[in-house]
Structure 1
Amino acid sequence: MRFNWNIIKLFVLIICITGLYAFSNKRNAERAVHGITVRFVGAENLYLTEVMVNKLLIQNYGGLRNVPKEKLVLNTIEKVIETNEMVKSAQVYLTINGELTSKIVQRQPIGRIEGNSKFYLDEEGKRMPLSENHSARVPIITGKITGKSLEDVYVILKHINEDDFLRKNVIGIHIEDDEKYQLKFRLENFVVNLGDVEDLDKKFNNFKAFYAKATKDKTLEDYQIVSLEFNNQVVCTKI
């Protein structure tokens, strides 16, 4: 009887690979968490800290060090981290060395509301609590705070953040009683009456053209109010 040694070798190889795979899976499942690392993605200013994240995990899990990998539910840990109001999203994974790593994207404020209650407006137009760790340098929103006015303010803030000149110079937005808006600038004494949120691109382009000319003529200090409310015009009130 002749044996086909190639078939036998293949059969033995399959058994060895299967055994190694099963052994590897068993060792991998038994691997415990040796350390926890928190990384903040793309964040220069930290509105929450690594200590705060670890405290949140301890409150929910009583600590994750030395917990076997098979007992970890990474999606659940991500959702726990995302319950923090400063967190936009979280990604959690376990490294080969047993390091539990959390990559966290923070919410980014674009305006600060100073009314009966104080909070940030974030990049998605949602309310975001103030942080004890860092104060964002964003325009201050004052005046008559309502649901509708906050929607309008969000639209204005988006335009401001998309323009380098406006982002560097606008420090405040005041909401008037008739839901019209007034801008305050960092270095100038005048205020800008924006009116409503219609035709913002045209209004801001007109203002920048006025600003460039007034800067060249050295007349910026002569004005008290600059109004953009009227159709395609810049109307100025002198001091």
Structure 2
Amino acid sequence: MKNKFFTYLKISALLVGVIILFAFTNKRNEQRKINKVLVEFIEEQDPYINEITVNKLLIQNRNRVTSVGKEILVLNTVEKELDAHEMIEHSDVYLTVNGELRAKIKQRTPIARMDAVAPFYIDVTGNIMPLSDSYSAHVPIVSNVSEREISNVFPLLKKIQEDEFLKKHVVGVDLNADNDYELDLRVYTFKVVLGKVENLNSKIRNFKAFYQKALKDKSLDAYKKVSLQFSNQVVCTIK
């Protein structure tokens, strides 16, 4: 009986000790202040928003962030404020046990620049994105396309962004007087008349086949226009 009594006593003392230790640790965590703000940009992207700007968003009210107990900092609110920024696609804000406020930032990705009175980008989701003060994106320039026509041209812009060949060669997209889309190339001066944004895979496949053959024949400089409008055909106009 004595052994059982002492065993129960030890267990009880241990439980009390654990409870006291937990309460003490919890109290210290509540009193600990945020002492550092760290920003990390996930994925390799061009700097359309810089770390200084993100830091300003995080500590625009410094008392709120660095001089209050961690238990009353509403991280969801901070995330919403970051996500509302016009250059940020998504953010993840969290606190470490060392009292560091950390933010992981995923920027928006522009895939084209609209040539308008007030220029803007089209991002990878097809939405309007403002120009950045920090960096100018190397993306195709879209001309003669109104804001209401963005949804029409977006599949073409997405195709250019996803296809390495097109991404390397195409620097511009124009809507001509016949409402047909034309592609401007980085090196060669001939226009690629795509026509309507339909049957894109077939048209691009035909253009790649033509390009490789003409490159081999060293005849690319001889053309003024290359049309992909007609089914399974590439119609060329000589200079």
TM-score (norm 1): 0.94
Partner of 1:224: 224
The 1:144–1:124 alpha-carbon spacing in structure 2 relative to 1, beyond 3 Å, is closer
Aligned-pair CA distance for 1:177: 4.5
SS in 2 for 1:38: strand
Correspondence 1:208 to 2:208: yes
Partner of 2:55: 54
Partner of 1:111: 112
Q: Tell me the matched-pair count.
A: 238
SS in 2 for 1:4: helix
Aligned-pair CA distance for 1:110: 0.5
Partners of 1:89 and 1:30 in 2: CA distance: 30
Once the two structures are superposed, residues 146-171 of structure 1 have per-residue CA deviations (whole angstroms, 9 ceiling, x without a partner) of 42x31122101211122111111100
Contact 1:111/1:121 (8 A) holds in 2: yes
| Identity of matched residues, % | 46
Summarize the alignment of residues 5-84 of structure 1 with structure 2, pairs less than 5 Å apart.
5-59=6-60, 64-84=65-85
Aligned-pair CA distance for 1:131: 0.5
Partner of 1:176: 176
Which deviates more, 214-223 or 10-19?
10-19
SS in 2 for 1:233: coil
Summarize the alignment of residues 67-216 of structure 1 with structure 2, pairs less than 5 Å apart.
67-147=68-148, 149-216=149-216
Instruction: List, as ranges, runs of 4+ consecutive aligned residues in structure 1 with deviation greater than 4 Å.
Output: 60-63
RMSD: 1.6
Contact 1:43/1:105 (8 A) holds in 2: no
The 1:61–1:154 alpha-carbon spacing in structure 2 relative to 1, beyond 3 Å, is farther
SS in 1 for 2:66: coil
Once the two structures are superposed, residues 125-149 of structure 1 have per-residue CA deviations (whole angstroms, 9 ceiling, x without a partner) of 11100011100000001113142x3
Partners of 2:230 and 2:46 in 1: CA distance: 39
Partners of 2:62 and 2:76 in 1: CA distance: 14
Contact 1:145/1:175 (8 A) holds in 2: no
Unmatched tracts of structure 2, length 5 or more: none
Aligned-pair CA distance for 1:56: 2.4
Unmatched tracts of structure 1, length 5 or more: none
SS in 2 for 1:188: coil
TM-score (norm 2): 0.94
Letter in 2 for 1:42: E
Letter in 2 for 1:233: Q
Contact 1:57/1:63 (8 A) holds in 2: no
SS in 1 for 2:189: coil
Letter in 1 for 2:203: K
